[in-house]
Structure 1
Amino acid sequence: MRNNISLTSHEDLAVITLGNEAQANTIDLEFCGGLLRALGDIEAHGKYRAVILRATGRIFSAGGNLVQILEGLQRSDGSLEAIISALNDLILKLRRLPVPVIASVQGAAAGAGFSLAMACDLVVASRAARFVVGYGKLGTSTDGGLSFHLARRLGSARALEILLARDSLSAEQARSLGLVQAVVEPAALEEAALAMARSVMSVPPAAVREMKGLVGGASETGLEQHLEDEKRAFLRCASTEAFHQRVAGFVERSKSKNSPN
């Protein structure tokens, strides 16, 4: 296991498991590095025909590590930009993988965790899953390509509605919008993700690679620049007093919830 991220295989299927339950699979430099290495191993191996990205615990990913972000803001050391740059590298690696990636979302996918799920090709969700934007409440814009993928899948008006007005989607709401391909009971999630993978793997590998390239090729050419634009927008928001105050407030509330009575 690397940084609580493990890579296992079942014949031609690769399974990446996010296993940092204690930290709700929050996204930081260590997380990005571990997941990048797992994706690199899959690409280098060359035999895999599909990938499942799953997580253990109640939360798929709580998004960025706000404690680290707050500490970086207080130090003014550029660590926030480094984290977003690493996340961008991860998203690009995920999108450019030549085989389909299926997100298996068992709980909340929040902030950059939502971005990570939307960067996958297909999503299977537990009925208990939620997709939470969260950025507006912190006083900042998106990162990890969330604005890109929501606008691409839903159109600009619906994407803005979700980002600015709705903030959170249930699994069923996400399915009705086409952001999720299947919603199942929690106990059936693992088998549903495997069934989706088997369906994909029943198509000859060359055809799968070509179709993934054709479907994603036209839009992915703009993803790299969009990620850079998104990072700059996030950093401009992060320089405001409102962002500092809201992140500090969120961290303080989290500490209060987790402190013993």
Structure 2
Amino acid sequence: MESKITLTSSDDIAFVTLVDEARANSIDTVFCNELLGAVHDIEESSKYRVVILQARGKIFSAGGDLRQISDGLKRSDSFLDSLISALNATIVAMRRLPIPVIACVQGAAAGAGFSLAMACDLVVASNAARFVVGYAKLGTSSDGGLSFHLARRLGSARALEILLTRNLLSADEARQLGLVQSVVDPASLQDASLALARKLMDVPAAAVREMKSLVGMAAEDHLERHLEEEKRAFLRCASTDAFAQRVAQFVTNSDSPRSTST
């Protein structure tokens, strides 16, 4: 089986790349376990100063594979629990990294792919990027910490509005909301991400670590508990007829195995 995640480095920058282009970097347990392994490798090394999370292909991540989810639910009641638990472990590990993580988003970040981008400290996006919510259309709540990070950054009312009434945010809309720090032309995306990484590296490493810890301290204390509650809410929604019907309709009508949620 080919890897879904690669870890490379240059000039003390770790590049974590989503490389499952054929499946639009959809999120499954293998994806989560490989990403978690890369994050642990970064944490155990003392040489990295910044992480850039990037992806191959036109899509950053399509989120969960609804065909796989539909099949998994038929095989086992614990399938979704295991998948979301694997995703949550990865999100927690990313948030615990003592160095900044920059998401470099070139295309759609959908469902749990949106959650993954929001779990990063900073986001640089192509003007072709789209942040797709999608959960309400499937009749379920969010996962991967999306409700946590949107509420933390935007306030509860705006977060709820986006989760319930918006199918997607353009890159410019996400920037105006403060979810994205800069939007650039696709050809400039990698250079812009590297420029931001190097700007962070101009600050002494100890100051960066302490500042990240202080900024995240109050919120991160509650992240794990929130992720567990979010998982329970998702599983309750996934047990309803509405979810089953909407997933089945999506799978039937789609020519692709990709989705907009975990």
Q: How does 1:40-51 map to 2 (within 5 A)?
A: 40-51=40-51
Question: Are the counterparts in 1 of residues 141 and 233 from structure 2 also a CA contact under 8 Å?
Answer: yes
Question: Are the counterparts in 1 of residues 130 and 171 from structure 2 also a CA contact under 8 Å?
Answer: yes
2:205 maps to 1:205: yes
Aligned position for 1:82: 82
Query: What TM-score comes out, normalization by structure 2 length?
Result: 0.96
2:116 maps to 1:129: no
Aligned position for 1:141: 141
Cα distance change of structure 1 residues 41 and 160 upon mapping to structure 2, 3 Å threshold: same
Give distance in 1, aligned partners of 2:161 and 2:201: 35
Question: Are the counterparts in 1 of residues 66 and 257 from structure 2 also a CA contact under 8 Å?
Answer: no
Q: Secondary structure at the match of 1:59?
A: coil
Cα distance change of structure 1 residues 122 and 253 upon mapping to structure 2, 3 Å threshold: same
Question: Are the counterparts in 1 of residues 23 and 257 from structure 2 also a CA contact under 8 Å?
Answer: no
Query: 2:64 is aligned with what amino acid?
Result: G
Give distance in 1, aligned partners of 2:257 and 2:53: 29
Question: Are the counterparts in 2 of residues 133 and 167 from structure 1 also a CA contact under 8 Å?
Answer: yes
Aligned position for 1:190: 190
State the Cα distance separating 1:256 from its structure 2 match.
7.1
Q: Percent identity?
A: 69
CA deviation profile, 1:131-185 (whole Å, cap 9, x unmatched): 0101001100000000000000000000011111122100000000000000000
Q: CA RMSD in A?
A: 1.4
State the Cα distance separating 1:250 from its structure 2 match.
1.2
Aligned position for 1:237: 237
State the Cα distance separating 1:219 from its structure 2 match.
0.5
Give distance in 2, aligned partners of 1:72 and 1:56: 26
State the Cα distance separating 1:74 from its structure 2 match.
1.4
State the Cα distance separating 1:77 from its structure 2 match.
3.5
Aligned position for 1:67: 67
2:118 maps to 1:118: yes
Higher relative contact order (CA 8 A, sep 6+): 2
Aligned position for 1:98: 98
Question: Are the counterparts in 1 of residues 143 and 234 from structure 2 also a CA contact under 8 Å?
Answer: yes
Query: 1:169 is aligned with what amino acid?
Result: L
Aligned position for 1:11: 11
Q: Matched residue pairs, number?
A: 258
Q: Secondary structure at the match of 2:48?
A: coil
Give distance in 1, aligned partners of 2:167 and 2:150: 12
Q: Secondary structure at the match of 1:144?
A: coil
Question: Are the counterparts in 2 of residues 73 and 244 from structure 1 also a CA contact under 8 Å?
Answer: no
Aligned position for 1:251: 251
Aligned position for 1:35: 35
Question: Are the counterparts in 1 of residues 14 and 52 from structure 2 also a CA contact under 8 Å?
Answer: yes
